[in-house]
Each structure stands twice: as C-alpha cells, then as structure tokens.
Structure 1
C-alpha cells in the first residue's frame, strides 16, 4: 500500500513539474508590417517613405546589432512628425533598444530651433514607445490631427 501511494505521489509530482514547464516561456510573435499597418489606420503617414537602414542608424541612432528586423514608415513632409517603427529585437536587448528609442524621442522633442517645427516637437514629446517581449514599437503622431488615444488603442490591438 505504501509503495502504491509513493508511486502515485511521484507520478503526480512529475505531471505537475511538466505542466509547470510547459507554459509561460513562449513569447508572442508578431508580423512587423501588420503592426505598422494597424497603427497607420489611427496615425496616417502623409507622403510616406519606408524606414531604412540609414534612418535606423543615422537618424534614430539605434545599434544595428540589437535589431533582428524592423518595419516602419516616416513622413517625407518636412513639417509632419508622423513616424511608426516596429522592431524585432535580438533576444535580451529590449531594454537597450528602449533606451535608444527614448534618447531619439528626447532628441526630436527638445530641439526648439525653429518656430515652424513647434507642432512636430509637441507631438514628439508625447511619442509612444511600447516594448513587449522581444518587440519594440515607437509611434509619433502626425501633425494633421492624429489622436494619441486612438494610437494607444491601435497599439494595444496590434500587440495582443
């Protein structure tokens, strides 16, 4: 009888151990272009151009070794602040990328050089940076009436 109880206890412990190991380590996987498209519905990018390596490295000053892939759009209109960038970060580098995105946000929101760019700087000051697992998204609202509440909703939906 004691052997049966011991075997049952051991078996149940094994089952619980396997159940405990199975769940939480999975991270969500997202299509970067889908994220950009979902956010663009709430934050249209006028005269858009795709974010490229030069923009990532020279404008945003992001470290390429921390990035697996990215997608994004930025307005090609000088007076429009619209920007959407979705990044698949190298595992373990999310906080480094988030720091660099925050530094970029500061750089585009505190220039104060020209009065005609005041609207752009105001929108950039409220830019959204969302990090979820190995993904980071930065959104700057356009200067044509985009609403950050709608952008927040779009981000939440895209990163479910």
Structure 2
C-alpha cells in the first residue's frame, strides 16, 4: 500500500492537474487498455480517489491548525481529529498500518456555528454586492 501512496504522490506532484478520473481511460496512467484489464483501471481510479480525499483532509486539518488563534471567534473551533475504522474490515487488516490507513475514514469534529451555511448562498434575491462583502470580510479575518 505504501508503494501505491508513493506512486500517486509522485504522479500528482509531477502533474498537479491530474484527477482521479484520468486513471479510468488514460493510457498514460494504465487505463483500461493497459494490460487489457478494466478492473485494473478501476482499482487505479479508486486509489487515486482515496489519495485525493486524503490530501484534501490533510490540507483542511493543516489549515485549522494554522488558524488556531481564530478558532471560536471567526472560524469554528476544531475539537478533534477522528478516525473511524470500517466495521467490515478484517482485524488483521486493521492491525496492518498501511492497509488501516487506506481502509479508515478520517474526519474533523468542529464547533457548530449557528447561521446560514455556504450551501444556502447565493440566493436569487441576494444583493449583488453581498457576496463581495462576505468574501472581503473573510479575507480580512485572515
């Protein structure tokens, strides 16, 4: 599993525009025609999807750590980094660190901040300059 992670890290570093779907049909990354096995292509896609999600999670966790001084005032307080093992994974795989890393779900336990969420915005009746004001306020916070 470590070889998988290292290979993906290298691919994404060389070409930052790479995305998981590139592994399905792209001959460069061993798409379905590479070796003639479509399931190999799907396995590469799943591994790349996991890698992207893992990188997004690590980036978000790093951001919360760097913005610690703003937690509880301008951004939600980070209470914990949680790691949930998948219940259907055999115990032997859970005890194997590389597989466990791949087969668990990571999450952040954040403070609940009452008020509108980003999915509620923008609305058709919102003033045109409102988004600009909100973005400016967020930028000034940092």
Q: TM-score range by the shorter chain?
A: under 0.3
TM-score, with normalisation over the residues of structure 2? 0.26
TM-score, with normalisation over the residues of structure 1? 0.24
Greater RCO (Cα-Cα under 8 Å, separation 6 or more): 1
Higher strand proportion? 1
The structure whose Rg is larger is: 1
